[in-house]
Amino acid sequence: MLAACSGGSSPAEFSPGGTGAADNSLLAPTIARISRQPVTTASFMDPTAAGKALIFVSDAANGVIDIYPQAGKSQKMVGQITGLRQPQGITTDKNGDLYVANTNSSNVLVYAPPYTGAPKMTISDTHEFPADVAVSSAGVVAITNICDAPKCRLNTGNVVLYAKGSTKSCATVSYSGSDFTRVMFAEFDKNGVLYIDGMNSGYQTSFGLVTGGCDATTITNLNYVYTVSFPGGIQIDKAGNIAFCDPINHVVDTFAPPSNGAFGSPVSTTPLTGSTSPLGIALLASGTNLYAADSGGSGVAEEYKYTAGGAAENTISVGGQPIGIAVTPPLLKENN
């Protein structure tokens, strides 16, 4: 079962950096946790993979980022970043840097190729539980938070923004009502508009946007007429449309940019046939295919045609609890 989709029960209380029973994952503890073997004790990267198109998958259960080549239909892991604490949302920028929402350490780690050494930058997200991270064309970093730790009992999510290269926040925005008690996934469009999804106080899916970058002041709620059962990963496609993953219905719904504060019906729906709990998504640079991090079952990353969907063209056995997924080179990072 996915969190907060079981009749409106309250999510588990969070504990920053805790190692006890608290689960700060976007998914409920009832998800099968199948340990992936082996998880190495030190990060590594196959030197022959340098400069090649890559796939990154965050495994929240095992505290690692697994790295695979895009080429071929039976990918073997070529790298792994270890020592993380429940990594969830991830993204890459046009330089190939990898940004990791390291949830249980309340920070975002930034790794430069070849991803084997210490992070090039650590962005502290003090008292927060980061769910996802996005980077704009101007280098502004946005971190979504599923909970503000001092106010966890009130379920107050937010978005914290950082100027390019800075580890000091330049803005923190939230929603004045109850539509974003948890903020989950995010992505910038080419104009620097940040699209987000999350849950409201009734554990229903919410959509919103944040404008202004470091001058942002609030989250604007977006109405929608189409049912999306649970908030999943977000991508902006080549046409500038906004693609949202719906883990419950196993589809990616793509919407035209909102008009008058609302989304219309989807311009396309991509069925992720055979998936069980797809969450994070990543569009390849071609724009014709996408990868989904499927947290259900044994944990896999699956490649599908965008927007035709159907059966997966390629499946990578990740194991554990894959939540976030990113690729190099990313789609449209020169613009978003």
Predicted confidence (pLDDT) per residue in 102-147, tens digit: 999 999 999 999 999 999 999 999 888 899 999 998 999 999 998 7
Does the pLDDT at position 15 exceed 80?
Answer: no
Band (35; pLDDT cuts 50, 70, 90): very low
The boundaries of the domain holding residue 158 are 44-328
What pLDDT shows up at residue 274? 94
What pLDDT shows up at residue 31? 36
Query: Which pTM does this prediction carry?
Result: 0.90
- Is 28 a member of any domain? no
Mean pLDDT, the chain, integer: 85
Min mean pLDDT across 60-64, 90-94, 154-158, 172-176 is at: 154-158
User: pLDDT, tens digit, for every residue of 187-233?
Assistant: 999 999 999 999 888 888 999 999 999 999 999 999 987 677 789 99
Band (24; pLDDT cuts 50, 70, 90): low
Does the pLDDT at position 82 exceed 80?
Answer: yes
Q: Which residue matches tokens 């449309």?
A: 241
Q: Mean pLDDT across the stretch 19-24? A: 41
- Is 7 a member of any domain? no
What pLDDT shows up at residue 230? 87
Does the pLDDT at position 14 exceed 60?
Answer: no
Q: Mean pLDDT across the stretch 275-294? A: 96
- Is 34 a member of any domain? no
CATH code (residue 90): 2.120.10.30
Q: Mean pLDDT across the stretch 281-300? A: 92
- Is 14 a member of any domain? no
- Is 27 a member of any domain? no
Band (155; pLDDT cuts 50, 70, 90): low
Band (22; pLDDT cuts 50, 70, 90): very low
- Is 22 a member of any domain? no
Band (179; pLDDT cuts 50, 70, 90): confident
Rg over alpha carbons for the chain, rounded to the nearest Å, is 18
What is the percentage of the chain residues whose pLDDT exceeds 70? Answer: 83
179 against 272, higher pLDDT: 272
Q: Mean pLDDT across the stretch 285-300? A: 91
Number of domains in the chain: 1
333 against 199, higher pLDDT: 199
- Is 13 a member of any domain? no
299 against 166, higher pLDDT: 166
Min mean pLDDT across 14-23, 50-59, 210-219 is at: 14-23
- Is 211 a member of any domain? yes
